[in-house]
Chain A
Amino acid sequence: MKDMNDMIETRDLQIGVPLTDRSFNIVSDINLSIRRGDSIGLVGESGSGKSTIALSMMGYLGSGLEVLDGSSSFQGSSVFDLSPAKLQKLRGGQLALIPQNAGQALAPNLRIAAQLAEALELHSDISASKRRERMVELLHQVRLPDPDVILERYPHELSGGQQQRVAIAMALAGEPEALILDEPTTGLDVTTQAHILELLAQLRVERNLAMVFVSHDLGVIARVCTRVVVLYAGEIAEDGPVGDVLRNPAHPYTRGLIASIPKLSEAAIPASMEGRPPSPGSREQGCLFAPRCSYANDLCRTSKPAQTEAGQAHRVRCHHAAAIARRADLPATTRREPTKVGSPIVSLEGVQIRYDSPGLIDRLTNKPRPTPTCDGIDLTIRAGETVALVGESGSGKSTILKAISGLVPPSQGSIYGPDRLQLPPSLKNRSADQKRRIQMVFQNPDASLNPRQTVEEIIGSPLKLYENLSGRALRDRVVELLNQVRLGASYLRKLPTQMSGGEKQRIGIARAFAARPDLILCDEVTSALDVSVQAAVLRLLVDLQAQTGAALLFVSHDLAVVRAISDRVMVLYQGRMCEIGPAEDVFGEPYHPYSAMLMNAILEPDPDKAPALLADDATELSPPAQGCPFQRRCARRIGPICDTESPRNALGPKGPHDIRCHLSESDLRG
Chain B
Amino acid sequence: MSAEATDIDLRPPLHMRLLKVIESMWRQPSGKAGLTLLSIHLFVAIFAGLLATHDFAVQDASAIFAKPNAEHWLGTDNLGRDVFSRTLLGGRPALITTFFGTMLALFLGGFLGILLGFVGGTIDDVAMRVVDAFLAIPWLLLLLLIIAIFGTATIVMILTLGILYAVAIIRIIRAGTLDVVAQDYITAARTRGEKNVTIVIRELLPNVLDVVLVEGAMRWSWMLLTFSALSFLGFGVTPPTPDWGLMIASSRNFMSVSIWPVIAPIVALSTLIVGLNLSADALAKALGVDRARIGG
A and B touch in the complex (CB under 8 A): yes
Q: Does A493 sit within 8 A of B, measured CB to CB? A: yes
Q: Which residue from A449, A479, A515 sits with its C-beta under 8 Å from B185?
A: A449
Interface of A is mostly: helix
- How near does chain B come to A233, taking the closest CB pair, in angstroms? 28
Kindly identify, within residues 181 to 199 of chain B, every residue whose CB is under 8 Å from any CB belonging to chain A: 182-185, 187-194
Contact B1 A450 (CB under 8 A): no
Closest to A460 in B: B8
> Which among A163-171, A193-201, A285-293, A427-435 touches the partner chain?
A427-435
Residues of B near A430 (CB, < 8 A) are 193
Q: Which residue from B10, B191, B207 sits with its C-beta under 8 Å from A405?
A: B191
Contact A407 B190 (CB under 8 A): yes
Q: Which B positions have Cβ atoms within 8 angstroms of A? A: 1, 6, 8, 10-11, 182-185, 187-194, 202-203, 206-207
Residues of A near B8 (CB, < 8 A) are 456-457, 460, 470-471, 474-475
Contact B6 A492 (CB under 8 A): no
Contact B1 A489 (CB under 8 A): yes
How many residue pairs, one in A and one in B, have C-beta atoms under 8 Å apart? 76
Q: Which of B8, B185, B206 has the most CB of A within 10 A?
A: B185
| Smallest CB-CB A-B distances: 8 pairs | A435-B193, A489-B1, A442-B184, A448-B184, A452-B206, A447-B184, A447-B183, A450-B185
Kindly identify, within residues 437 to 452 of chain A, every residue whose CB is under 8 Å from any CB belonging to chain B: 438-440, 442-444, 447-452
Contact B6 A436 (CB under 8 A): no
15 residue pairs from A and B, CB less than 8 Å apart: A407-B191, A427-B193, A435-B193, A436-B193, A440-B191, A444-B184, A447-B182, A447-B183, A449-B185, A461-B189, A461-B192, A461-B194, A461-B202, A475-B6, A492-B10
A435/B192 contact (C-beta < 8 A), A442-B184, A447-B183, A448-B184 known = yes
A479/B191 contact (C-beta < 8 A), A450-B203, A456-B10, A471-B6 known = no
Kindly identify, within residues 624 to 669 of chain A, every residue whose CB is under 8 Å from any CB belonging to chain B: none
Report the Cα distance A503→B255, complex, angstroms. 69
Closest to B195 in A: A465
- How near does chain A come to B193, taking the closest CB pair, in angstroms? 4
Q: Which of A444, A447, A458, A489 has the most CB of B within 10 A?
A: A447
Contact A440 B6 (CB under 8 A): no
- Further pairs besides A427-B191, A440-B188, A461-B202: 6, Cβ < 8 Å: A448-B188, A453-B206, A460-B8, A462-B192, A471-B6, A492-B10
Q: Does A600 sit within 8 A of B, measured CB to CB? A: no
Contact A515 B192 (CB under 8 A): yes
Q: Does A2 sit within 8 A of B, measured CB to CB? A: no
- How near does chain B come to A434, taking the closest CB pair, in angstroms? 8
Contact A442 B207 (CB under 8 A): no
Report the Cα distance A218→B258, complex, angstroms. 81
Q: Does A326 sit within 8 A of B, measured CB to CB? A: no
Residues of A near B182 (CB, < 8 A) are 447
Contact A451 B207 (CB under 8 A): yes
Q: Does A86 sit within 8 A of B, measured CB to CB? A: no
Contact B185 A448 (CB under 8 A): yes
Contact A450 B192 (CB under 8 A): no
Residues of B near A462 (CB, < 8 A) are 192
Residues of B near A461 (CB, < 8 A) are 189, 192, 194, 202
Contact B185 A439 (CB under 8 A): no
- How near does chain B come to A604, taking the closest CB pair, in angstroms? 32
Q: Please encode chain A, from 493 to 513, with 1 for each CB lying within 8 Å of some chain B CB and 0 for all others.
A: 100000000000000100100
Contact B6 A472 (CB under 8 A): yes
Residues of A near B188 (CB, < 8 A) are 440, 442, 448, 508, 511
Residues of B near A454 (CB, < 8 A) are 10-11
- How near does chain A come to B251, taking the closest CB pair, in angstroms? 50
Residues of B near A470 (CB, < 8 A) are 8
- How near does chain A come to B129, taking the closest CB pair, in angstroms? 14
Q: Does A490 sit within 8 A of B, measured CB to CB? A: yes
- How near does chain A come to B72, taking the closest CB pair, in angstroms? 54
- How near does chain A come to B125, taking the closest CB pair, in angstroms? 10
Report the Cα distance A435→B1, complex, angstroms. 33
Q: Does A406 sit within 8 A of B, measured CB to CB? A: yes
Residues of A near B1 (CB, < 8 A) are 479, 489-490, 492
Closest to B205 in A: A452
Report the Cα distance A479→B183, complex, angstroms. 26
Residues of B near A438 (CB, < 8 A) are 191
Residues of B near A427 (CB, < 8 A) are 190-191, 193
Closest to B7 in A: A471
Residues of B near A435 (CB, < 8 A) are 191-193
Report the Cα distance A461→B186, complex, angstroms. 12
Contact A447 B11 (CB under 8 A): no
Report the Cα distance A427→B6, complex, angstroms. 34
Closest to B196 in A: A428
Residues of B near A475 (CB, < 8 A) are 6, 8
Q: Which residue from B185, B189, B190, B191 sits with its C-beta under 8 Å from A447?
A: B185
Contact A407 B184 (CB under 8 A): no
Report the Cα distance A461→B206, complex, angstroms. 15
Residues of B near A436 (CB, < 8 A) are 192-193
- How near does chain B come to A244, taking the closest CB pair, in angstroms? 42
Closest to B189 in A: A461
Closest to A474 in B: B8
Closest to A473 in B: B6
- How near does chain A come to B122, taking the closest CB pair, in angstroms? 10
Residues of A near B207 (CB, < 8 A) are 450-452
Report the Cα distance A432→B195, complex, angstroms. 10
- How near does chain B come to A408, taking the closest CB pair, in angstroms? 11
Residues of A near B11 (CB, < 8 A) are 454
Q: Which of B184, B203, B206 has the most CB of A within 10 A?
A: B184
- How near does chain A come to B211, taking the closest CB pair, in angstroms? 13
- How near does chain A come to B284, taking the closest CB pair, in angstroms? 18
Report the Cα distance A268→B265, complex, angstroms. 79
Residues of A near B185 (CB, < 8 A) are 447-450, 458
Closest to A514 in B: B192
Contact A493 B192 (CB under 8 A): no
Q: Please encode chain A, from 394 to 429, with 1 for each CB lying within 8 Å of some chain B CB and 0 for all others.
A: 000000000001110000000000000000000100
- How near does chain A come to B14, taking the closest CB pair, in angstroms? 13
Residues of A near B189 (CB, < 8 A) are 461
Q: Which residue from A450, A465, A490, A493 sits with its C-beta under 8 Å from B10?
A: A493
Report the Cα distance A432→B198, complex, angstroms. 15
A406/B192 contact (C-beta < 8 A), A447-B184, A449-B185, A470-B8 known = no
